[in-house]
Chain A
Amino acid sequence: MNKTIITVVGKDTVGIIARVCTYLADNQVNIEDISQTIVQGYFNMMMIADIGRSQKPFSEMVTELENLGEEIGVRIRCMREDIFTKMHRI
């Protein structure tokens, strides 16, 4: 239930992962898996994270990560894992 998928899409630039990871560490979010690929010319990163220990309300984290993305110039989405597992797993 506390699994979260964080995706970052945009032009590749220095320090994207560092900035996102710093934010997550500051909020006691544990990163369980990171993968990245280039899809249609864009940098795509996905993290599976556990937010179980974070004190921050989920909706606040969504908004803050979105804002962080705007700062760096990429699109960051933070969504509960269920939406993906329900869609792609029977």
Chain B
Amino acid sequence: MVSILEVHETNKMIEQEKLDVRTITLGISLLDCGDSNLDALSQNIYKKILRLAKTLVATGKEIELEYGIPIVNTRISVTPIALIAGSACRSEGDFVSIARTLDLAARDTGVNFIGGYSALVSKGMTPADETLIRSIPLALSSTERVCCSVNIGSTKTGINMDAVLLMGTIIKETASATRENNSLGCAKLVVFCNAPDDNPFMAGAFHGVSEADAVINVGVSGPGVIRHALEAVRGENFETLCETVKRTAFKVTRAGQLVAQVASERLGIPFGIVDLSLAPTPVVGDSVAGILEEMGLESVGAPGTTAALALLNDHVKKGGIMASSFVGGLSGAFIPVSEDQGMIDAVLRGSLTLEKLEAMTSVSSVGLDMIAIPGDTPASTISGIIADEAAIGMINQKTTAVRLIPVMDKNVGEMVEFGGLLGHAPVQQVNTFCCSDFISRGGRIPAPIHSFRN
């Protein structure tokens, strides 16, 4: 029987330390929706999403109420559209009409984001992949809830540098197409290396082809809970520090696992994975930076930051893995700048630079995430940053991603507001030396030597 102190601890985590389930994401396969007629394809997609996700939002609310744990988002991910729409979509406009169908389906099911307007081009691009990629600026500027992702590399295939070059331009065009909203379109566009098939987190969620027809994936959260737990062991040695992270992560993940199982039962859809990522929000106290600073750093970005993040990430996983029957997705502490008040403060203080963030992505997080850069940053520079990040992912056999926002008409130091969970961020300095001769060589970077394991 649980004791009053345990009950008190759980309630404190929820009420004061902002423990929540960040997202219940319903992955839906659209592989059986294919049709060479555009209208028929659109209808098939819409009908299937509505059929499976009709009660998703209501179920999330019900679980939240009964178990007392906030469920911040309910979302949908679908099969990468480039894989299913190739025979019906001949032009960028055709693809955009599919994006609008997804947007409508998201609105009518009540989810706040739908992911999967995606292309997987880690080795090469089909005509459908390339047309979809070229349609992204218009798709993102004419929809509200659609999220895009493009996988441009993997440890097994190497890096598709043609796609890297193209994505630099697409990010700039998306920024320009959504310039009235602080280039917000770029916040819904992720460029991946080693993208996972079962990621529940936006903007990079899509339902991979290795997945079942429909599946429930859950992303937990709880940076505030970990930080509070670490306050109690201030000054203790690393063994105690790591143990505390591990124990706390176990509890956080168990809550996520429970929600995933209940949601799966009630919706009649199989449970997929729990994603162990620590996801911050702009709310004060819900910060990954706050954890690192609690460990003893004056400000995130100071020497020691990469080590602190590495141990945090590793022990969140060690605690979480035993708490869940299936772990997957991204499962790495997120370090988005605009969505984490501690990161924002560190940038403003001058302790956190783009280069330090890049170093941090090599040990833990998923990538350079939600970073505002000057609107006049050249496309080739953005491609260069994507290539660097992809190289870290490819060589280290981990997922990395880039979600940069070149904010039109803004310069270094200016603050940009994205709203809601996307937060706000100061425009950060980017290295201004040119890399365009390197980026525009064309072709691919071959797979690394350690990928040949057979």
Contact = CB atoms under 8 A, between A and B. Distances in A.
Contact of B1 (A9, A48, A86): A48
Nearest to A45: B4
Interface of B, secondary structure class, is helix
Interface residues of B, number: 24
Interface stretch (B133-141, B252-260, B423-431): B252-260
Interface in A6-47: 7, 9, 33, 35-37, 39, 44, 46
Contacts of B68: 77-79, 83
Given A7-B7, A46-B4, 11 more contacts: A5-B2, A35-B4, A37-B4, A37-B5, A39-B5, A44-B4, A59-B62, A83-B67, A86-B257, A88-B6, A90-B322
Nearest to B256: A86
Nearest to A59: B65
B18 to A, nearest CB: 16
A79 B322 CA distance: 24
B2 A80 contact: no
Contacts of A48: 1-2
Contacts of B67: 79-80, 82-83
Contact of B258 (A35, A44, A83, A90): A83
Interface in B9-25: 9-11
Contact of A83 (B1, B4, B65, B255): B255
B6 A82 contact: no
Given A46-B4, A86-B255, A59 B10 contact: no
B444 interface: no
B251 interface: yes
Given A80-B67, A82-B67, A87 B4 contact: no
Nearest to A33: B1
Contacts of B62: 59
A35 B5 CA distance: 10
A87 B10 contact: yes
Interface of B: 1-11, 62, 65-69, 251, 254-255, 257-258, 262, 322
Q: What 8 pairs across the A-B complex have the smallest Cβ distances?
A: A79-B68, A84-B2, A88-B6, A46-B4, A86-B254, A87-B251, A86-B258, A83-B67
Interface string A60-90: 0011000000000000011111111111111
Contacts of B3: 35
A88 B69 CA distance: 15
Interface of A: 5, 7, 9, 33, 35-37, 39, 44, 46, 48, 58-59, 62-63, 77-90
Given A44-B4, A48-B1, A84-B7, A58 B66 contact: yes
A88 B2 contact: yes
Given A7-B11, A46-B4, A88-B6, A83 B69 contact: yes
B11 A77 contact: yes
23 contacts: A5-B7, A7-B11, A9-B11, A35-B3, A36-B4, A39-B5, A39-B8, A46-B7, A48-B1, A48-B2, A62-B65, A77-B11, A79-B66, A80-B66, A82-B258, A84-B2, A84-B10, A85-B2, A86-B255, A86-B257, A87-B6, A87-B255, A88-B9
Nearest to A46: B4
A59 B4 CA distance: 23
Contact of B10 (A35, A36, A83, A90): A83
Contacts of B254: 86-87
A58 B323 CA distance: 27
Contacts of A44: 4, 8
Nearest to A82: B258
A77 B7 CA distance: 11
Contact of B66 (A33, A37, A59): A59
Nearest to A39: B8
Contacts of B257: 86
A37 B6 CA distance: 12
